[in-house]
Amino acid sequence: MLPNDIDDPATPSGGNVYDRRLCQGLTAAGWSVREHPVTGGWPRPDAAERAGLAALLDTLPDDAVVLLDGLVASTVPEVLVPRARRLRLVVLLHMPLDAEEAALGRAERTTLASAAAVVTTSEWTRRHLLDRYALSADRVYAAAPGVDPAPLTVGTQTGRELLCVAAVTPQKGHDVLVTALAAVAGLDWHCRCVGSTARDPDFVARLRRQIDGHHLADRVHLTGPLTGAELAAAYDGTDLLVLASRGETYGMVVTEALARGIPVLATAANGLPEAVGRAPDGGRPGLLVAPDDPDALAGALRRWLGDDDLRRDLRRAAERRRDTLTDWTVTAARVADVLTRVRPV
pLDDT score for 101: 84
Taking each helix axis from N to C end, the angle separating 308-322 and 294-306, rounded to the nearest 10 degrees, works out to: 100
Whole-angstrom distance, CA of residue 76 vs CA of residue 67: 15
Q: What is the pTM of this model?
A: 0.92
What sign has the CA pseudo-torsion 286, 291, 295, 296? negative
Which CATH topology does 2-146+327-342 take? Rossmann fold (3.40.50)
The answer to whether residues 286 and 264 touch, using CB atoms and an 8 Å cutoff, is: yes
Backbone φ and ψ of 2, nearest 5°: -125, 150
Domain 161-322 coded CATH 3.40.1160.10: no
Which of 113, 111, 117, 31 lies closest to 78, judged by CA? Answer: 111
Q: How far apart are CA 232 and CA 236, in angstroms?
A: 7
- Closest to 178 in 3D by CA, of 298, 302, 305, 304: 298
Helix, strand, coil percentages (3-state) for the chain, rounded to 5, are 45, 15, 40
Q: Are 266 and 301 in contact (CB under 8 A)?
A: no
* Dist CA 41 CA 122 (whole Å): 25
Query: What are 302's strand-pairing partners?
Result: none
**Strands in 166-275 per DSSP E:** 190-194, 220-224, 240-243, 264-267
- DSSP label at residue 129: H
- Count the Cβ atoms, other than its own, within 10 Å of residue 45: 20
Q: Do the domains 161-322 and 2-146+327-342 match in fold? A: yes
DSSP code, position 324: T
Listed by start position, the domains of the chain span 2-146+327-342, 161-322
Cα 68 from chain centroid? 17
The pLDDT tens digits along the chain (345 residues) read: 888 777 776 666 888 899 999 999 999 999 999 999 998 888 999 999 999 999 999 999 999 999 999 999 999 999 999 999 999 999 999 999 987 888 899 999 999 999 999 999 999 999 999 999 989 999 999 999 999 999 999 889 899 999 999 999 999 999 999 999 999 999 999 999 999 999 999 999 999 999 999 999 999 999 999 988 999 999 998 999 999 999 999 999 999 999 999 999 999 999 999 999 999 999 999 999 999 999 999 999 999 999 999 999 999 999 999 999 999 999 999 999 999 999 874
Q: Enter the DSSP assignment of 139.
A: G
Amino acid present at 190 = H
Report the alpha-carbon distance of residue 305 to residue 8 in Å, rounded. 37
CA–CA separation, 266 vs 143, rounded Å? 22
Distance CA 169, CA 112 (A): 27
